[in-house]
Amino acid sequence: MRTGKKWAIKAEAIARLARADLDLNTLFAETLHALGRVVPFDAACWHTLDPATLLETSHLTRNLPVENRLATEIEYLHEDYNQFATLARSPRHSGILSEATGGVPQRSRRYRELIRPFGLEGEARVAFVTSGAAWGAAGLLRAGGDFTPEEAAFLQLLSEPLAEGVRRALLVEAAAQAEEAPGPGLVLLTEEGAVEAITAAAERLLAELADVPSGGQGRSLPYVVYAVAARARLTGPPAAPAQARVRTRAGRWLLLYGSVLDGPPHSRVAVIVEEASGPTMVPVIGQAYGLTAREAQVLQLLLQGRSTREIAAALYISPYTVQEHCRAIFEKVGVRSRRELVGRVFFQQYEPRRRAGLRPGPSGWFAAAGGTGEPADDPPPGRAGANAVQ
């Protein structure tokens, strides 16, 4: 039996990988290699999630089909145990399928139709969550035997560092593309707040902001850049992610995200600047279905799996009003239940972008490729998912 101290040491070794500024594919490969030495597995899947909706934006697999229509449909069109969105919302972000089903994994549709047909037996899952935002998730599968509560506890130790690792990977990929596309832009600040580097895209976007105080090394940066950098440098998990949404003189919105690149005592900070997307795209998705601004707010919480009571508390409205909004949303989207709503939005707004090869950007929403990346104004008719996944 490994002691708690030994688990913590091994978890820290994997956390160092998450801080190594790796791209998503490399982070996946290196993490699974290190994880397999502690928690052996025979197959795995790795997903990035949109923090605004908890819907999948990309995935990678190990010893599993790259594309699996049934897996996606079970995740989004049916209720099941330990679904990624459920783990992301739970106080504990990891779980073993056999425990969740009370020792009868056959109660799980995923177990009956996916896990056992592949000759696998045990499943453990973990959602990557930091500061209340879920950036990814992973599932581990074992052919001979089940996972143990001790192994699930180890995965829980990795939830926050791997969430930060996914965020950093998205920043790394965005920075690598910053010189090749109009956006996003990158600002690199030293520990003292001086500008170590700034891309042309960042200069162009930040020039649209009204307040431009004097920055380091003779450059000028808006105050919001330093505010985001200061938030990123806070020790321990901050009360909110290191990000800000700011309006330009032209009336559009920019999003800024900060990430510490080095540990103390250096603490350089990368600040990504991009046109508003990600969480602020939920109202645009709502517009695609003809929703009001308030209905779009309810939609976002419904996609996260929030209960009527939780939605009422978050929006300071009555449960009855929430139910009225839900009825209006169901009618406009053309669904009859919350689960069908999640499936409809995923298969019409997320899955086509994922299959088209769009990668998630620093906000969690898809980075545009030759376009705005905004949802289609006219969602296709018909039942969600009927022909969306191959």
Q: pLDDT (tens digit, 0 to 9) for every residue of the chain, 390 residues total?
A: 354 777 888 899 999 988 888 888 999 999 999 999 999 999 999 999 999 899 999 999 999 998 888 999 999 999 999 999 999 999 999 999 999 999 999 999 999 999 999 999 999 999 999 988 999 999 999 998 999 999 999 999 999 999 999 988 888 777 666 544 455 788 888 888 888 888 888 888 888 886 654 444 445 788 889 888 888 777 444 434 577 778 777 666 787 878 777 655 557 788 888 776 544 567 767 877 889 989 999 999 999 999 999 999 999 999 999 999 999 999 999 999 999 999 999 998 888 888 878 888 777 888 754 333 444 444 433 333 322 221
- 222 located within any domain: yes
- 173 located within any domain: no
- 366 located within any domain: yes
Question: Do 79 and 160 have their domain in common?
Answer: yes
| Radius of gyration for the alpha carbons in the chain, expressed in angstroms and rounded | 21
Find the distance separating the first CA and the last CA of the chain, reported in whole Å.
Answer: 44
In whole angstroms, give the CA distance from residue 184 to residue 178: 6
Question: In the prediction, which pLDDT does 114 show?
Answer: 96
Question: Do 255 and 353 have their domain in common?
Answer: no
Question: Do 50 and 152 have their domain in common?
Answer: yes
- 9 located within any domain: yes
SS3 of 264, please? Answer: coil
- 358 located within any domain: yes
- 171 located within any domain: no
Q: Let me know if 324 is exposed, middle or buried by CB neighbors in 10 A (0-12, 13-18, 19+).
A: middle
Backbone angles phi, psi at 198, to 5 degrees: -150, 135
Question: Do 142 and 156 have their domain in common?
Answer: yes
Question: Do 33 and 97 have their domain in common?
Answer: yes
> Could you give the C-alpha distances from 279 to 245, 260, 332, 360, in angstroms and in order?
10, 22, 21, 12
- End position of a domain, from candidates 238, 261, 276: 276
> Could you give the C-alpha distances from 304 to 50, 70, 133, 298, 301, in angstroms and in order?
10, 21, 11, 10, 5
In whole angstroms, give the CA distance from residue 369 to residue 47: 20
Q: Let me know if 293 is exposed, middle or buried by CB neighbors in 10 A (0-12, 13-18, 19+).
A: exposed
CATH assignment at residue 375:
1.10.10.10
Question: Do 133 and 8 have their domain in common?
Answer: yes
Q: What is the DSSP string of 317-382?
A: --HHHHHHHHHHHHHHHT-SSHHHHHHHHIIIIIHHHHHTTPPB-TTSSBPPSSS--PPPSS---S
Question: Do 192 and 209 have their domain in common?
Answer: yes
The tokens for 287 are: 């517009």
- End position of a domain, from candidates 276, 306, 338: 276
In whole angstroms, give the CA distance from residue 97 to residue 366: 30
- 172 located within any domain: no
- 170 located within any domain: no
Question: In the prediction, which pLDDT does 194 show?
Answer: 87
Question: In the prediction, which pLDDT does 215 show?
Answer: 43
* Residue labelled with tokens 């908890």: 54
CATH assignment at residue 152:
3.30.450.40
Residues of the domain holding 265: 178-276
Question: In the prediction, which pLDDT does 5 show?
Answer: 75
Alpha helices in 138-191 (DSSP H): 149-177
CATH assignment at residue 231:
3.30.450.20
Question: In the prediction, which pLDDT does 103 show?
Answer: 97
Torsion (CA) 76, 81, 87, 92 in degrees, nearest 10: 180
Question: In the prediction, which pLDDT does 268 show?
Answer: 79
- End position of a domain, from candidates 119, 140, 165: 165
Question: Do 49 and 157 have their domain in common?
Answer: yes
Question: In the prediction, which pLDDT does 141 show?
Answer: 98
> Could you give the C-alpha distances from 67 to 115, 232, 262, 277, 375, in angstroms and in order?
15, 36, 36, 26, 23
Question: Do 28 and 51 have their domain in common?
Answer: yes
Question: Do 56 and 125 have their domain in common?
Answer: yes
pTM above 0.85, yes or no: no
The tokens for 67 are: 């594309």
Question: Do 237 and 320 have their domain in common?
Answer: no
Tell me how many domains the chain contains: 3
Question: Do 285 and 268 have their domain in common?
Answer: no
